[in-house]
Amino acid sequence: MPLPPIAVEADDYLWFVDEALAGMVEIVTRLGDDLANRRPDLPDSNSPYAVLTHCLGVVEWWAGHVLTGRPVDRDRAAEFVAHGPVDELVARVAEQRRRLAGDIAGLDPLAPPAVGQEELREDADLPIGRTQGGVLLHIYEELAQHRGQMEGIRDALLAPWGRSVPVG
């Protein structure tokens, strides 16, 4: 027997998103422009600035494009080498959060995403490709995962034994 749908108020969902984003903003703010734009001297590591930039791309793509069908010009590869002033990144976080609230305003959690299954390709048969609610869970999953990653990066950057390299 299938389980019943689970209802979550939009404000409750956004509270969890805000917790994740606030944690990431706190990390880049505490690190400042220099350390937020450095990455641990380890293969395939990223800077906190780049990880948070990637998270903004995730939210814009999955909420803005997949949920609403809005055209989104995303350069995923560029997100991982992004660098710049922390205050500008923090302003972009606030703007993306406002856009997210608008994107989910007319959400039907059991309805399919706005984009067609052919565009979602390998994700089409997964929960993130079947329902709008699945898309929202995926967005939060990515934010929570990357917040944890940023906490590890922060710890490595601040450790007395840590070695880092600049990005960009």
**CATH 2.130.10.10 fits domain 10-159:** no
Q: Per the confidence metrics, is the pTM higher than 0.85?
A: yes
Q: What is the pLDDT of residue 71?
A: 94
pLDDT at 165: 86
Domains of the chain, residue spans: 10-159
How sure is the predictor about 168, in pLDDT bands with cuts at 50, 70 and 90? confident
The pLDDT > 90 percentage for the chain reads 78
- C-beta pairs of 130-139 under 8 Å, 24+ apart in sequence: 132/67, 132/107, 132/108, 133/5, 133/6, 133/107, 133/109, 135/62, 135/63, 135/66, 135/67, 136/13, 136/63, 136/67, 136/104, 136/107, 136/109, 138/62, 139/17, 139/58, 139/59, 139/62, 139/63
Q: Who's near 6: CB < 8 A, 6+ residues apart?
A: 133
Read off the pLDDT of residues 95-135 as tens digits, 9 standing for 90 and up: 999 999 999 998 899 999 999 777 888 888 888 899 999 99
Could you tell me what percent of the chain has a pLDDT over 70?
100
